[in-house]
Amino acid sequence: MRYDFGSDNTAGMAPAALEGLIAANAGPTPAYGADPVTARAADQIRRRLDADAEVRFVFSGTAANAIALSMLAWPFEAVLAHHAAHVCTDETGAPGFFGQGLGLIGLPGFSGKIDPRALQSALEEPEVSHRQPPAALSLTQATEYGAVYSVDELRHLIEPAKARGMGVHLDGARLANAAAAGFDLTQIARLGVDVLVFGGAKAGANCAEAIVMFDKSLARRVDNRLKQAGQTASKTRFLSGPMLGLLESEAWETGAAHANLMAQRLAEGITVRSPFVLAHPVEANTVFVRMPEATHARLNAAGWACYRFDDGSVRFVCSWATTEAAVDEIIEAIAGLD
């Protein structure tokens, strides 16, 4: 393999995350999240969000999303989300599993952003006893197609949902990339988001994500819920330590900014040097290209890993570790295809 552009999960841990992990390993400390490393990491998250919130660290984004949604909807209710959202397409029914049967209702919208008209239509659907009524709205920032919601775009989705008494979840697996693209993190709580998944793995941590509960009533017995779900780490500092390393060094932001820059470089090179067109605007760290299946297969066979996505386009993902040299080499490889 020449380079793996299939996902930002293919990158290793960022140096600052590794340093945070090593620092967390020094000496004995209280277990189950009662340690100072975890407290400092939680404070770093609250500072970025400029909000008071309960923070818990878990092993995966799938668990974080699914447990968060289970806080917002009963088993006989459903969650509205973009039809391409990770919770709908890539979590093997985990929201329904953790939520004991809660449903998902997919909504359309370009580049992974929910169309406000589609949301309004779903909200106006009459409730009948034979279908799961929507009780929560799930949003993704940045979206699965690399788009970044503006504050106003989020407001126009959140306000009508909240007006109907619904809870709001934000999947922030690539929140660092959205922030690097100019999204103001301090607006999340002010917009009315109840629970946020604050991404760590794609930003350079190990497998750590944080569940951030702005609505503190959601934290009632949350530790019992996490324990039952197998998401309570006895040595929580090894989840929070890498996150702390990223956050205190600001590598969470700078790594995402670098990934976004590499995606822009890749998109510009493909646009200028190749016959292929972009399928979506490049606003974060992902590039989607319209490419025939045979051409994609040739690129993979040449050692360039990239992934055919749900809409049929080919996805290239840049990370904190992506180099200019790797980007320039794959641009040359793509330019030689037809």
- Residue 338: the pLDDT is 72
Strands 286-290 and 277-278, sheet pairing: antiparallel
φ/ψ of 106, rounded to 5, equals -85, 140
Q: Token match 């016959």: residue?
A: 275
- Residue 311: the pLDDT is 94
Q: Are 152 and 112 in contact (CB under 8 A)?
A: no
Peptide bond into 142 cis (omega under 30): yes
Q: What is the CA radius of gyration of the chain?
A: 20
**Structure pTM?**
0.97
Q: Which of 304, 262, 261, 306 is nearest to 288 (CA)?
A: 306
Amino acid, res. 135:
A
Q: What whole-number distance in Å separates Cα of residue 93 and Cα of residue 66?
A: 9
φ/ψ of 320, rounded to 5, equals -60, -25
Q: What is the largest CA-CA distance in the chain?
A: 59
The conformation of residue 114, written as its DSSP 8-state character, comes to: P
Q: Which residues of 191-203 are buried (b: 16+ CB within 10 A; e: fewer)?
A: bbbbbbbbbbbbb
Residues in CB range of 289: below 8 A, 6 or more apart: 270, 276, 277, 278, 279, 313, 314, 316, 334
Task: Please list the rounded mean pLDDT of every run of 10 residues in the chain (338 residues).
Answer: 92 97 96 97 98 97 97 97 97 95 97 98 94 97 98 98 98 98 98 98 96 96 94 96 98 98 98 97 98 96 94 97 97 92
Count of residues making up the chain: 338
Strands 209-213 and 277-278, sheet pairing: unpaired
- Residue 1: the pLDDT is 81
- Quick check: helix, strand or coil at residue 137? strand
- Residue 129: the pLDDT is 92
Residues in CB range of 228: below 8 A, 6 or more apart: none
Q: What whole-number distance in Å separates Cα of residue 74 and Cα of residue 65?
A: 15
Gap between the terminal Cα atoms of the chain: 21
Q: Which of 162, 183, 199, 174 is nearest to 72 (CA)?
A: 162
pLDDT digits (tens, 9 = 90+) for 140-192: 999 999 999 999 999 999 999 999 999 999 999 999 999 999 999 999 999 99
Residue 23: count of CB within 10 angstroms of its CB: 15
Q: Residue 103 is encoded by which pair of tokens?
A: 């449903």
Q: Residue 86 is encoded by which pair of tokens?
A: 């990770």
Q: What whole-number distance in Å separates Cα of residue 331 and Cα of residue 256?
A: 21
Cα separations (Å) of 253 from 5, 29, 188?
Answer: 20, 28, 17
Amino acid, res. 288:
F
